[in-house]
Amino acid sequence: MEKHSKIYVAGHRGMVGSAIYRKLQKEGYTNLVVKTSEQLDLRNQQVVADFFANEKPEYVFLAAAKVGGIVANNTYRADFLYENLAIQNNVIHSAYVNEVKKLMFLGSSCIYPKLAPQPLKEDYLLTGLLEETNEPYAIAKIAGIKMCDAYRAQYGCDFISVMPTNLYGYNDNYHPQNSHVLPALIRKFDEAKKNGSKEVVIWGSGTPMREFLFADDLANACYFLMQTYSEPNLINIGTGEDLTIKDLALLIKKVVGFEGELTFDASKPDGTPRKLMDVSKLHALGWRHQIELEEGLKLAYQDYLSKI
């Protein structure tokens, strides 16, 4: 990518898209195209086709998606499937029609089978049943990977797919019902601290293992891969390290400064028992994460305090 190349970042107001946008700005790219969802509804095929025909972007980071935690995924199953398929179909096809030089599609670690061996290798895709609670979202993302591969095979498009692990960071979603586990815990501990609560109740048993990557590290990886990687299938982006939800809660408790007790509500769902990415493919290319979890949590908590 040249510094003056026209680059479209889809989903630039989300946590991932905004991190990619900041990274490109920092690296000196001057011709960045962004549109809010009000300005450009990516679910609308004609609107997307017109946008690509008029703007003719050379590079596309497809970070736009309908996202949420267990509750949101399980509640809005039709919306998660339909809207994500529509966004991907419209952007990927228009990128082909308008001869985009390279497109990066961002998926999610939930594409892997619920009971796949750990850590999750790229070739475990479609080898077993998905986690039921977020199956519609996962199916949409798997379709996106296969679509990039199909356009590469049939038309020679340089479309690549990257699968980030669980993310957190600036511009995260702290909604009480629709957020992911890490931002939800930051909010819970902060509110408990401010209210002088004696305890914080955490969903599930606390035993599931999770891996977390700071979104700015993901943006660095995406920038690196956009310039060095061109293959079918997908590549994992993560840290290769995980911890229990209980240990995560203890770490967030420490960062927030909450003095009370932790209680686990085992009647609530745990989700997948473990989701650790195998990042040996990425490490072999020469990229590793830089921001460790405790440091990242401090940055995320300051961002939360500045916004909420």
Which residues touch 152 (CB under 8 Å, ≥6 apart)?
Answer: 158, 159, 232
- Cis-peptide, bond into residue 119, ω within 30° of zero: yes
Q: Which residues of the chain have pLDDT under 70?
A: none
- 289 annotated to a ligand binding site: no
Q: What is the pLDDT of residues 167-207, one digit of tens each?
A: 999 999 898 777 788 999 999 999 999 999 999 999 899 99
Q: Report pLDDT for 180.
A: 83
What pLDDT, on a 0 to 100 scale, did the predictor assign at position 176? 79
| Residue 163 β-bridge partners | 236
The verdict on whether residue 109 carries a ligand-binding annotation is yes
* pLDDT for 303: 96
And the tokens for 76? Answer: 């809005």
pLDDT for the residue numbered 308: 84
pLDDT reported for residue 73:
84
Identify the architecture of domain 7-169+211-238+275-291 in CATH: 3-Layer(aba) Sandwich (3.40)
Which DSSP string do the residues of 228-262 spell out, in sequence order? H---SS-EEES-S--EEHHHHHHHHHHHHT--SEE
Q: What is the pLDDT of residue 160?
A: 98
Give the N- to C-terminal CA distance of the chain in Å, as an integer: 37
The set of residues, in sequence order, having a beta carbon less than 8 Å from that of 26 and lying 6+ positions away, is none
Known binding residue 210? Answer is: yes
pLDDT of residue 166: 93
239 half-sphere exposure, CB direction, 13 A CA radius = 21
Contact 185, 248 (CB under 8 A): yes
**Which tokens is 82 given?**
């339909």
Say what the pLDDT of residue 184 is: 92
User: To 10 degrees, what angle do helices 135-155 and 77-97 make?
Assistant: 10
Task: List, for residues 92-132, the tens digit of each pLDDT value.
Answer: 999 999 999 999 999 999 899 988 999 999 999 999 999 89
Cα 61 from Cα 59, distance rounded (Å): 7
- 13 in a labelled binding site: yes
Helix, strand or coil for residue 202? Answer: strand
In sign, the C-alpha dihedral spanning 171, 24, 299, 16 is: positive
pTM of the predicted structure, to 2 decimals: 0.94
240: left (phi over 0), alpha (psi -120 to 50) or beta: left
pLDDT at 26: 98
Confidence at residue 275, expressed as pLDDT on a 0 to 100 scale: 86
196 annotated to a ligand binding site: no
Looking at residue 74, its pLDDT comes to 86
Amino acid 49: pLDDT: 98
Q: How far is CA 242 from CA 95, 99, 180, 193, 239, in A?
A: 36, 40, 16, 26, 8
CB 179 within 8 A of CB 172: yes
Q: Is 107 within any annotated ligand binding site?
A: yes
Domain locations in the chain as residue ranges: 7-169+211-238+275-291
93 annotated to bind ligand:
no
Active site residues: 137
Q: Residue 12 — φ and ψ, nearest 5°?
A: -70, -10
